[in-house]
């Protein structure tokens, strides 16, 4: 889906076009956002700002997305990819923003990840993990635009089996799944086995060679860097580790010896 197999991950109120441009020398993808699209999600984001959290608040969030993507016109490379992480409580705003993304060759990522009480109270974020029908409907609505579509999810939610959810989302039209593995890194292997056609981006704690290669060994197609995504040193060493891992796999395949190298 993108090369190199390193992304920077959405951080509320921080991950905008300028942030993506800063990471560009080291990554193949940037996930902007999250962006609250409708009145309930915007009200929740406003409440978060009131208690000191950084959020993107715009009078016209779809126009905001359009402006951000237009500002990133120079970000496009041969395989470089941009997507916008969005929150909403209904499908129509997702359809609208997906059309904007499709026109600009960008993707849409449904946020089923945020766990703040304010967002969960209106039905956004991780509440969607327990409402797989609604999450799948949002994915399907975005896919109508022909934009690439994914979802960002988190592990360690009681009653939520990410492997089966991955299958549901793939059937709904998802192209990728962005998994915050929390402290359950091995869940990446389970998701990869359950939904092999999804491009799997692993997130949480990616800082260096050890953390990046652990996810790749479990079957992730790429890794994403969250909080230190503006740290050039971290991005550089993760990029080097990922490049080395894939180069090692290619060398093993050419020699006919893939022992000890994950597929």
- Per residue in 69-126, pLDDT tens? 999 987 867 678 999 999 999 999 999 999 999 999 999 999 999 999 999 999 999 9
Give mean pLDDT, residues 9-21.
95
pLDDT averaged over every residue in the chain: 95
Distances (CA, A) of 165 to 74, 154, 218: 35, 11, 18
Pairing of strands 149-154, 29-36: unpaired
What Cα–Cα distance (Å) separates residue 50 from each residue in 17, 47, 53, 86, 115? 24, 5, 7, 20, 17
pLDDT-derived band of residue 262, with 50, 70 and 90 as boundaries?
very low
Q: What is the mean pLDDT of residues 194-209?
A: 98
Q: 257: burial class by Cβ within 10 Å (0-12, 13-18, 19+)?
A: exposed
Q: What percent of the chain has pLDDT over 70?
A: 96
Alpha helices in the chain (DSSP H): 17-23, 39-50, 61-71, 91-103, 117-121, 132-143, 162-172, 187-194, 209-218, 232-255
Structural domains in the chain, sorted by start: 6-258 (3.20.20.70)
pTM here? 0.94
């Amino acid at each position: 889906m993108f090369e190199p197999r390193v992304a920077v991950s959405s951080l509320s109120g921080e991950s905008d076009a300028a942030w993506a441009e800063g990471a560009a020398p080291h990554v193949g993808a940037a996930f902007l956002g999250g962006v609250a699209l409708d009145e309930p999600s915007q009200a929740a984001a406003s409440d978060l700002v009131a208690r000191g959290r950084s959020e993107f608040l715009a009078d016209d969030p779809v126009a905001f997305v359009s402006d951000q993507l237009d500002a990133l016109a120079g970000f496009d490379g041969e395989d470089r990819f941009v997507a916008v992480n969005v929150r909403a409580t209904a499908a129509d705003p997702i359809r609208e923003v997906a059309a904007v993304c499709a026109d600009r060759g960008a993707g849409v990522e449904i946020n089923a990840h945020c766990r703040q009480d304010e967002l969960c109270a209106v039905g956004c974020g991780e509440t969607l993990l327990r409402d797989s029908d609604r999450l799948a409907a949002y994915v399907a609505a975005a896919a109508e635009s022909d934009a690439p579509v994914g979802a960002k999810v988190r592990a360690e939610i009681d009653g939520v089996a990410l492997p089966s959810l991955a299958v549901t989302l793939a059937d709904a039209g998802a192209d990728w799944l962005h998994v915050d593995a929390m402290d359950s890194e091995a869940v990446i292997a389970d998701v990869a086995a359950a939904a092999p056609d999804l491009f799997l981006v692993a997130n949480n704690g990616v800082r260096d060679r050890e953390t990046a290669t652990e996810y790749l060994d479990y079957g992730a197609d790429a890794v994403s860097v969250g909080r230190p995504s503006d740290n050039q040193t971290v991005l550089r060493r993760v990029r080097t580790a990922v490049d080395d891992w894939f180069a090692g796999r290619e060398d093993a395949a050419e020699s006919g010896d893939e022992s000890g190298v994950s597929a």
